[in-house]
């Protein structure tokens, strides 16, 4: 029987129902393989073990026949495959647990495979957004530079952050597909939200005093 760990969510990726006037523009999750490559250094780990295997075979070939020397590299190759499988498994769990949401008012990020939390980033709290494209299929990362007192822990948000920005953590939509299109939707929604005039009610006595002063 299948089990949904997030069945308690009234809306997928969100801890509560959307308030009146707010609606979802886009939802997505990281690409697990790209997350493993970019955030968990899968390519570097794989390359390291490839070099170890080559070195081991080369060293053994000096004293053993080539067929036997090649067999000496098998244990290192198996260890490398296991390490890569573990890295991909971790990336898969992180990607499966994460749901990124754009609404007409905010960016919401449900993240965390073990400790799940939801980050709410109102557009008025985002100073700039940086798009980094990777690959030819439009995949990439969108990082948000926050303004004001809005701060998050780099460790708790990892790997859903812009790498190496520790002082001012920048939450990020990591390794998503169609990143340019998502960035366009974000820019349009944020521009509409931030530039919208705010109407404040002025008490009648204050308004009367202001007219009298004129």
Residues 120-153 have pLDDT tens digits of 999 989 999 999 988 767 889 999 999 888 789 9
Six-digit token pair at 124? 């008025």
Residue 210 has pLDDT above 60, yes or no: no
**Number of neighbours of residue 19 by Cβ within 10 angstroms:** 8
d(CA 176, CA 141): 6
d(CA 31, CA 208): 59
Average pLDDT rounded to a whole number, residues 187-208: 64
Reported as a pLDDT band with limits 50, 70 and 90, residue 192 is: confident
Taking only the tens place, the pLDDT of each residue in 9-43 is: 778 888 888 889 899 999 999 999 999 999 999 99
Taking only the tens place, the pLDDT of each residue in 59-71 is: 998 888 888 889 9
Instruction: Name the region of 213 (left: φ>0; alpha: ψ -120 to 50; beta: rest).
Output: alpha
Range 24-30+100-194 has CATH code 2.30.29: yes
Closest CA to 123 of 194, 185, 184, 17: 194
Question: How do the domains of the chain map onto residue ranges?
Answer: 24-30+100-194, 35-93
pLDDT for res 13: 84
């Amino acid at each position: 029987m299948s089990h949904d760990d997030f069945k308690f969510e009234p809306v997928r990726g969100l801890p509560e129902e959307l308030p009146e006037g707010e609606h979802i523009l886009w939802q997505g999750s990281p690409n697990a393989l790209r997350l493993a490559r970019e955030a968990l250094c899968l390519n570097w780990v794989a390359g390291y073990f490839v070099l170890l295997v080559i070195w081991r075979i080369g060293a053994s070939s000096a004293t053993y026949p080539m067929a036997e020397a090649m067999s000496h590299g098998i244990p290192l190759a198996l260890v490398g495959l296991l390490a890569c499988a573990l890295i991909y498994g971790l990336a898969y769990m992180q990607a499966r647990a994460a749901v990124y949401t754009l609404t007409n008012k905010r960016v919401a990020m449900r993240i965390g495979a073990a400790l799940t939390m939801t980050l709410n980033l109102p557009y008025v709290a985002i100073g700039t957004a940086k798009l980094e494209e990777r690959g030819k299929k439009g995949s990439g990362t969108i990082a948000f530079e926050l303004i004001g007192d809005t701060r998050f822990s780099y460790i708790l948000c990892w790997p859903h952050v812009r790498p190496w920005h520790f002082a001012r953590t920048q939450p990020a939509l990591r390794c998503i597909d169609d990143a340019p299109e998502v960035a366009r939707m974000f820019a349009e929604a944020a521009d509409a939200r931030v530039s919208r005039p705010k109407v404040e009610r002025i008490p009648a006595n204050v308004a009367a005093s202001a007219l009298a002063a004129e």
